[in-house]
Amino acid sequence: MPERVGVIGAGAWGTALALQAARNQHEVLLWAWEAETVEAINRLHENPTFLPGIALPESLKATSRIEEVLRVCSLLIWVTPSQVVSSLGAQVAAEVGQEHRVIVATKGLEAETQRLISEVLQEVWGSRPRIGVLSGPTFAQELALQLPTAAVIASEAEDLTLQAQSVLHSTRFRLYRSHDVIGVQLGGVVKNVLAIAAGIVDGMQLGLNARAALVCRGLAEMLRLGLALGGQAETFFGLSGLGDLVLTSTGALSRNHELGYQLGTGKTLEQCLPAGGKVAEGAVNAHALVALARQSGVEMPICSMVHRILQQELSCAAALESLLERDVPHRESFTIENDS
């Protein structure tokens, strides 16, 4: 049965998810901050800034009035940058009611509090809407082009995960269900920081052996923090953990990998940040992630070095030496132990 679906955030990923819902014959209203993006979607049926070259159906409408989206749509897909979730959520709090269901597709942490995005929205809205989270190895452009893609939707509310499947699942977008709200979100946070590290490895031309080792030991860091915070081990070996980590650490479309690659070639951070309003969430969230790990008593040496590089405390070469000169490792482990 067709639903009215509201998508909050018209970046590449928000636009791709809006397109996916529209292709499944749902009525979609997409909120965009930029007036020019709203005009382009409604007049040209394209988002030339964030998803150029992809035709959007006429049934997909855009608006700059976020309150309108909440008034006419009971199912919301939240896809804004992590740093504006709290303020934007507070702005629309009066419009959020028991009838709403929210799918969080933003990957990140709140910088000041190190909270997951679902926790931020629950703090702002209370228990009024049911909240789920969507994550996985998903480049927006490939989903928009209907290339085979898979992701996972997690919520404590089984009916919300079923509703998300009915709206978004297709033969080209396989959407799996989970109850692990913490693990599914945390994988999406950590992999962005690790993707910067992988990009640095490639930019410094350290070789494929080094990149494979970094991805593997990065997964160990992700797993340790995830278990410490209450996530489930199997989640981190699935789509939202290992799957997303491999994609973002190796894929040419990854803004986080590209940022790291440019840093690895010797460019300054200011020269490497994405242009045109695009965001490399790993750079935004590295400080919060390292703070969260410290609070949890979990060592994350790779992520910590990325943070120090982004803070311009260390060069890429100095960070590499610091990682390689640590004590001889003990047995390989993927447990909560600090063994990196």
Q: Domains in the chain, please, with CATH?
A: 4-179 (3.40.50.720), 190-324 (1.10.1040.10)
User: Per the structure block, which two tokens stand in for 232?
Assistant: 């489930």
d(CA 20, CA 267): 37
Residue 323 parent element (H or E): helix 316-324
Per-residue pLDDT tens over the stretch 130-181: 999 999 999 999 999 999 999 999 999 999 999 999 999 999 999 999 999 9
Phi, psi of 173 (to 5 degrees): -135, 95
Q: Which residues are CB-neighbours of 46 under 8 A, at least 6 positions away?
A: 40, 52, 53, 54, 55, 56
Distance CA 318, CA 312 (A): 11
39: tokens are 């005009």
Amino acid present at 311: Q
Lowest mean pLDDT among 3-17, 32-46, 132-146, 278-292: 278-292
Measured distance CA(15)–CA(311) in Å, rounded? 32
Q: Please tell me whether residue 320 adopts helix, strand or coil conformation.
A: helix
So what's the pLDDT on residue 292? 97
Buried-exposed string 87-115: b where 16+ CB fall within 10 A, e elsewhere? ebbeebeeebeeebbbbbbbbbbbeeebb
Q: How far apart are CA 30 and CA 213, in angstroms?
A: 41
User: Could you tell me the sign of the dihedral formed by the alpha carbons of 308, 233, 111, 32, in that order?
Assistant: positive
Strand runs labelled E in the chain = 4-8, 27-31, 60-63, 75-78, 101-104, 130-135, 149-154, 173-178
- Active-site annotation holds for 191: yes
Output the average pLDDT for the chain. Answer: 94
Helix (H) or strand (E) holding 102: strand 101-104
Q: What is the pLDDT of residues 302-339, one digit of tens each?
A: 999 999 999 999 999 999 999 887 778 777 766 655 55
pLDDT of residue 26: 96
E-assigned strands of 272-329? none
- Order of strands across the sheet with 75-78? 60-63, 27-31, 4-8, 75-78, 101-104, 130-135, 149-154, 173-178
Q: What is the pLDDT of residue 334?
A: 64
Share of the chain above pLDDT 70, in %: 97
Alpha carbon distance, N-terminus to C-terminus of the chain: 50
Residue reference for tokens 């890429």: 316
- Is pTM, for the whole model, over 0.75? yes
Lowest mean pLDDT among 5-9, 140-144, 175-179, 253-257: 253-257
> From residue 272, how far is each of 76, 108, 178, 184 by CA, in Å?
33, 20, 36, 28
CA-closest candidate to residue 136, choices 173, 82, 179, 84: 173
Q: Under a CB-based contact definition with an 8 Å cutoff, are residues 262 and 83 in contact?
A: no
Widest CA span in the chain: 61
CA distance 6 to 62: 10
- Catalytic residue (one of 107, 191, 267, 278): 191
Question: Within a 10 A sphere around the Cβ of 335, how many other Cβ atoms?
Answer: 11
